[in-house]
Amino acid sequence: MAVGVLGVSGGLAVGGLVLLAVLGWALQRAVDTEAFRTADAVALLAAEEVLPDPLPVAGGQVRVQVIDAAGRVRAASIDADRLVPMVSPGSLDAGVRQRLTVSGERVGLTGPVRVVAVPAGTAADPRTVLVARSLADVRHSAHVVRTILLVSFPLLVAVLAAVAWRVVGATLRPVEALRRGAEEITGRDGGGRLPVPASRDEIHRLAVTLNGMLGRLESARDRQRAFVADAAHELRSPLANIRTELEVARRLADRTDWTAVSANLLADTERLGRLVDDLLLLARLDERPPARATGPVELGALLAAVAARYPSPPVRLDAPAAPLWTEGDPDELRRILTNLVDNAVRHAHGEVVLAAGPGAGEAGGDGGTSGGAQAASGTLGRGAAAGGTVGGGGSGVGAYHLVTVTDDGPGIPAGDRERVFGRFTRLDDARARDDGGAGLGLAIVRELVRRAGGGIELTDARPGRTGGPGLRVRLLLPALPDPERP
């Protein structure tokens, strides 16, 4: 604020100096104009040889003389000297209109005097008309204005400083409130919100934006804390099992069945390794921005490679009739299918079917390929109302390939089909850690599907069937034209 007031003060000072200069020039120009007007009138009389004596003038601050080439005064006003010219002939240029400033003592006036010279007469008898006007009024006017500026300038600066202080203070008061609110939030370990001013200005919008950012940060912090707590709980279980096995084995000593102990420890270690790998993968997915994948992938070959890892039955592959190409990271797409098949095998009664087909039509039969593309645009972006859809918006019929993973297990209730994509989520029939996973498989699938630009939906495989409706996972992946076709 001080810099602004100093800037305004400097501007006012420069403006005052310019005002004084312009005022002095304007007043002096007015004096010259009036003096030339008087001189021209006297020169006209001299040309007609009708000069009165004394010469008539208006006002007591004007002196008029008519001198010849020898410097003799031929006529003068009543107050002018009739013997000595106001300006010596040597300082005048013959036949030229001139302006000069001389001392007032030479013409009997106070202060400096403005003298104008106008040529008159004839070539045989050249004369010069001299008119002198006092500059006392000009100096007095400039002095009055200068005095007014010197008196009013400090007062004006003080008023401007006070107004600036009030205006800047009123403007920065909401900013100070935001600062105090931020300090209190920091002291409360990040909880709370910033005060929002009532004015609908930029600071109001800034406060609303910052509160939105704080809300997102708080939600992210809560999710991180819940994630850390769940991860610690999940990691504690295999570690506790390992410790219990070792303590029991040490107590039994020679009676310990080390083959069974080593098998149990190996199983717990493998489970612990899978959990750590899943946690690291989710952490990397959270840090990396969503990215469309790097190259074409043939879905038929990918499904065959995934199905080959499982015994048949229960896993059966319904291979597509023609190559189906999509874009994505092959490792990420393989992880998506592996997690889905693992989940299906874990809950199936006797059969898991993998299938793929062009478009996004409804799959029929035992989970085979779709027969049409009527549902392509309706599967993506419908949210939980569609039964657990996750993904972006579709671009129309034929823009996606449909991959289905169908099992004949108990299925998932419609109300839980969105919740199962959360991290560390287990339904009631999958809470046993020995039979189920850590609840990270579908969470990983959701993140990888988002990165691939696709969508995923959970539906009943056979509604109303005895033994459970089963579950069909409908996975939509972006379709690419066949790169091998010319």
The CA distance from 17 to 160, in Å, is: 19
| Stated pTM of the model | 0.54
The CA-based dihedral angle spanning residues 243, 244, 245, 251, taken in that order and rounded to the nearest 10 degrees: 110
Give SS3 for 474. strand
Burial 180-193 (b: 16+ CB within 10 A, else e): ebeeebeeeeeebe
Helices (H), 357-440: 376-379
The CA distance from 382 to 476, in Å, is: 13
- Taking all residues of the chain, what is their mean pLDDT, rounded to a whole number? 81
Per DSSP, the residues of 28-82 read HHHHHHHHHHHHHHHHHHHHTT---SSBP-SSTTEEEEEEETT--EEEEBTTS-S
Look at residues 415, 418, 437 and name the one whose alpha carbon lies nearest to residue 346: 437
Q: What is the pLDDT of residue 382?
A: 34
- Residue-wise pLDDT for 128-161, tens only, equals 899 988 888 888 888 899 899 889 888 988 888 8
Q: What is the pLDDT of residue 45?
A: 87
Look at residues 238, 296, 272, 287 and name the one whose alpha carbon lies nearest to residue 452: 296
Query: End-to-end distance of the chain based on CA atoms, in angstroms?
Result: 72
The CA distance from 453 to 293, in Å, is: 9
Neighbours of 422 (CB within 10 A): 14
- Residue-wise pLDDT for 387-424, tens only, equals 334 444 333 444 899 999 999 988 899 888 998 898 88
Counting Cβ atoms within 10 Å, is residue 473 exposed (0-12), middle (13-18) or buried (19+)? buried
- Report the percent of the chain where pLDDT is more than 90: 16
Read off the pLDDT of each residue in 97-110 and give the average, rounded to a whole number.
Answer: 83
Q: What is the pLDDT of residue 99?
A: 87
Q: What is the pLDDT of residue 293?
A: 54
- Report the percent of the chain where pLDDT is more than 70: 86
